[in-house]
Structure 1
Amino acid sequence: MRRLCDDRIWLTFAPVANQSGQYLKVSLEDINWLSLVFMVVAIPLSFGTTWMLDTLGLRITLILGSWLNMLGALLRFLGTLPPARFKLEFPAVMLGQTLGALAQPLIIFTPTKLAALWFPDSQRATANMIASMSNPLGILLANIVSPVIAETSAQIPKLLLAYAVPACITCLLATLGIRSGKPPTPPSAGAETSGSEPFIQGLKLLLKNKPYLILLLCFGSGIAVFTCFSTLLDQILCLKGYSNDFAGLCGALFIVFGIVGAGAVGVYVDKTKKFTEVTKIGLSLSTLSCIAFSVVSLMPHQKVAVAAVCSLFGFFGFSIYPVAMELSVESSYPVGEATSAGLIFVSGQVQSVVYIVLLQTLTKPITESPLSTCGDAVLSWKVPMMVMAGLSSVFTCCFLVFFQTRYRRLEAEEQAAYGTRENNDTTTSYQIVEN
């Protein structure tokens, strides 16, 4: 629930970009920065967050993140009330977004750590999937709630209040309800040695790990493409006459099918341990969906095609996120889970900032667009969409060709289990001889 609230705050304004710009009296580029600030802030903060998770544990990290998230949500709402109205509203909203951005790394790194500490190897991928899917669920709610509540610019304060209330409830539940960061008995050998490598030493090991670096770069690009899609969807579709409600529906389909795909893939990977194969197939199919979206999004009167492509994009893309996070741990063990998975997230955030700024730069103003529902700012997204599809294709091909790895954590757990069996057999034999 905590992560769900954070992602709703992240994308509060993206589905209603035009209304938000009108109310806050800023440009669409400024509205996009309300989402981009999450990526900019997360990049330097992520290193401290990985250290916190691997050193201080889950409980302290989660509670701190909940408080930052609540304060950010409240500040956004209060900044739109008199006397801040017309003077400090955008700075106040941006500051609230920044506090929410500070909270994001404190929670978004936790699924892999949670799965490693609390679940055996036969359940880790599924546990990671369930925890990770709170992220797209938050995006889903933002795509549904924002257009429904903020039909006009005057309803933006009401929208911010609707997001502040759950953040306060979540903070209360986290503060009072989280009693321990790990179970009294480790569920696996990997859980016993979780975070065994010191943080700096872990970073050095990761920088020497070729498979991990390939995953870092290529899957980070995939995260960036999905971030661009979530942030810019409304602005892309409005040019061809698609409404905010339809853009919200496409975002919802993107998430719903992603959750369905993640559920199926998580169970499959837990049974087969085919992390690499599933990631490669999912990344390839999501890239094909990205290419299809870059084409159909530029066509008017194609609601069925646009909705179908968004559904496939989510189904193939979101389904591999928790698997790739588990793969990052498998390829880098014994480095701490928060460190290995966290750097993947950092890579995604860095590339997200670059991609969004690049795509915005490549847009061109259009003087006449009779179908447009974009308001005053009418921009052509043809070139940016082709560039996004091209980047996705390049990094996917690199991953398919160059990525190969051992499953180091599974190997270590098998060796530990084998050693335990040997010791038990030796003890039993000794007792028989004694008798």
Structure 2
Amino acid sequence: MAIKRGFLIICIQFGVAMEKGVVDPVGVSAYRWVVLTIFVLVCIINFMADLEFSIIASVVIKYYGVEETSVDMTCSVFFIAYFVFFYPISFMIEKYSLKFTMLSAMALTLAGNLLKLLATKPGTFWIILLAQTLIAIGQVYVCGIPSKVATTWFGSEEVSTACAWGVFGIQLGSALACVISPYMITSKDPSEMEQQLFNKFLYQAILTALVCLLVLIFFRSKPALPPSPSQLILRTNHESANISYFNGMKEVLKNVNFWLVVFSLGLANAIWNAAVVLENLMYTYYFPGHESDAGNIGLLAILAGGCGASMLIGVILDKTHRFKSVGVIILAGSALSYVGVMVSFMYKSRIGTYITMPLYGFFVAPVLIVGFEYLVEITYPMPETCSSSAFNAAYNFLSVITTYALEEMWNTVGHLCTFIVIIVILAICAVVMAFVKTDLKRRGANLQDSRTDKEVEAERQSHRYSVTY
């Protein structure tokens, strides 16, 4: 009885403190930077597998004795896996904690990288495809949570920047694949190449195991206090907080603005993914014997866009919240910059490609950060995983189609026609983005909560004044 009475007294005191403003129901934890750093490392390790074979496609084809389409599959399997597994895995992300999600992603990534140690001899390419599939399934977990990590741990004025750090990790992993594979796989002698492949796979497996330990020991699912008013509403409002994943997904898919954003930004990202996958094929056609240039340019394009521009766009979105305007600008810039890519290829200017490809990457790569954050804004209070997973599934599905469609066009109707089609598609994406209705529901919840606090305080002061009088 005494314990119950003591607990009741504590609750009453806490309520009084809340009423007086002593206790703040919203607070940003300093530990958020530890969580974000670990998440970035997970993204880097997982996405290092995306392009590690396609960026050295000509070498892989000769060593393993496979077709070009088989090498493309080492990258395309990531798109296919997301489209196949996004729904059940997204449900699991909502059902279980963020830590469980991260551990699942890392366990699959570690299993895939360990399996590659058995695929260093010619004739074992099927093992590589199996390993890539395991890592691709793990990537479904990773891709579904950048916005969820950001909104769970970061304040309302820094969520886009936090999400941009997640995208930074994704793009940096792809960038490292562009430079590590050409750097470590250099020999044309089969025996030497076998040893180089083994060393590469071994280093990746060790790094993956280390990051897996970091997740297990230091990663946390959520802070003690919600970091923003919108998160406080989701935690305290029973009706909003208990929206089922299925109902949330249904509401998201009924949102017209959602589909406009998915089509414009998702298709643009699909074109970007296809261009990266086919870069080795395109570059070696115009510049035979310069495979290393393809890796260097891929690295520069991803660093300029996925790393530099994504961080810049994240800060801009947090400061301005002009998601639509930013989206139109980067899509229009993507179309214009790809004109430069076409000209530099057609005129066989190696220096030109070192300028135009990174410029194209600067504009097009940030579509991910805009897409993730814009969709969370316009679908709030639906679970972040609903909009993020549906967006990921859409652009991965489009990536598979565009990769093989552009490769077929490249080999049949001609290179100039392929370049023009890409430019036209990017221009259409910019036009579609202009028709999205600006409806920032999450932003509105944060502002409304702020206005309500001020009104309550004003009413309290007014009441106090009238009693005194």
Give the distance between the partners of 2:304 and 2:199, measured in 1 at CA: 29
Give the distance between the partners of 1:45 and 1:96, measured in 2 at CA: 16
Q: Which residue of 2 aligns with 1:333?
A: 380
- Equivalent of residue 390 in structure 1, options 400, 420, 424: 424
Q: Which residue of 1 aligns with 2:4?
A: none
| 1:419 and 2:447 correspond | no
Give the distance between the partners of 1:110 and 1:204, measured in 2 at CA: 19
Q: Which residue of 1 aligns with 2:173?
A: 138
1:432: Cα distance to partner?
A: 5.4
1:205: Cα distance to partner?
A: 1.4
- Letter of the structure 1 residue corresponding to residue 103 of structure 2: I
Question: Deviations for 1:153-188, whole angstroms, at most 9, x for unmatched residues?
Answer: 52333333332222222112212221x211100011
Percent of aligned pairs sharing the same letter: 23
* Pair 55,431 (structure 1): closer, same or farther in 2 beyond 3 Å: farther
Comparing 25-34 with 194-203, greater Cα deviation is found at 194-203
Question: Deviations for 1:409-435, whole angstroms, at most 9, x for unmatched residues?
Answer: 111222222223333444454455566
Give the distance between the partners of 1:86 and 1:144, measured in 2 at CA: 23
Q: Which residue of 2 aligns with 1:277?
A: 325
SS in 2 for 1:100: helix
- Any stretches of 5+ residues in structure 1 without a counterpart? 366-378
Give TM-score scaled by structure 2 length.
0.83
Question: Deviations for 1:125-173, whole angstroms, at most 9, x for unmatched residues?
Answer: 1111112111110111011111111123523333333322222221122
Q: Which residue of 1 aligns with 2:437?
A: 404
Q: Which residue of 2 aligns with 1:375?
A: none
Q: Which residue of 2 aligns with 1:224?
A: 270
Q: Once superposed, what is the RMSD of the aligned Cα atoms?
A: 2.0
Q: Which residue of 2 aligns with 1:297?
A: 345
Give the distance between the partners of 2:334 and 2:407, measured in 1 at CA: 22
Question: Deviations for 1:93-146, whole angstroms, at most 9, x for unmatched residues?
Answer: 111000000001101222111111111111111111112111110111011111
Give the distance between the partners of 2:339 and 2:93, measured in 1 at CA: 37
Q: How does 1:115-130 map to 2 (within 5 A)?
A: 115-130=150-165
SS in 2 for 1:288: helix
- Letter of the structure 1 residue corresponding to residue 269 of structure 2: I
- Which structure 1 residue ranges, 4+ long, deviate > 6 Å from structure 2? none
| 1:90 and 2:138 correspond | no
Q: Which residue of 2 aligns with 1:166?
A: 207
CA contact (8 A) 1:119 1:127 kept: yes
CA contact (8 A) 1:236 1:381 kept: no
- Letter of the structure 1 residue corresponding to residue 207 of structure 2: P
CA contact (8 A) 2:335 2:424 kept: no
State the number of aligned residues. Answer: 414
Q: Which residue of 1 aligns with 2:102?
A: 62
CA contact (8 A) 2:80 2:397 kept: yes
Give the distance between the partners of 2:205 and 2:342, measured in 1 at CA: 35
Q: Which residue of 1 aligns with 2:138?
A: 103
Q: How does 1:12-411 map to 2 (within 5 A)?
A: 12-80=52-120, 85-87=121-123, 89-152=124-187, 154=193, 155-178=196-219, 180-192=220-232, 193=234, 196=241, 197-241=243-287, 243-258=290-305, 259-300=307-348, 302-364=349-411, 381-400=415-434, 402-411=435-444
Q: Which residue of 2 aligns with 1:371?
A: none
CA contact (8 A) 1:8 1:141 kept: yes
Give the distance between the partners of 1:74 and 1:410, measured in 2 at CA: 44
- Letter of the structure 2 residue corresponding to residue 271 of structure 1: K
Give the distance between the partners of 1:216 and 1:70, measured in 2 at CA: 31
Give the distance between the partners of 2:89 and 2:50, measured in 1 at CA: 18
- Letter of the structure 2 residue corresponding to residue 162 of structure 1: Y
CA contact (8 A) 1:17 1:31 kept: yes
Comparing 331-340 with 319-328, greater Cα deviation is found at 319-328
Give the distance between the partners of 2:181 and 2:419, measured in 1 at CA: 24
Give the distance between the partners of 1:151 and 1:381, measured in 2 at CA: 29
- Any stretches of 5+ residues in structure 2 without a counterpart? 1-40
Give the distance between the partners of 1:296 and 1:203, measured in 2 at CA: 44
CA contact (8 A) 2:267 2:429 kept: yes
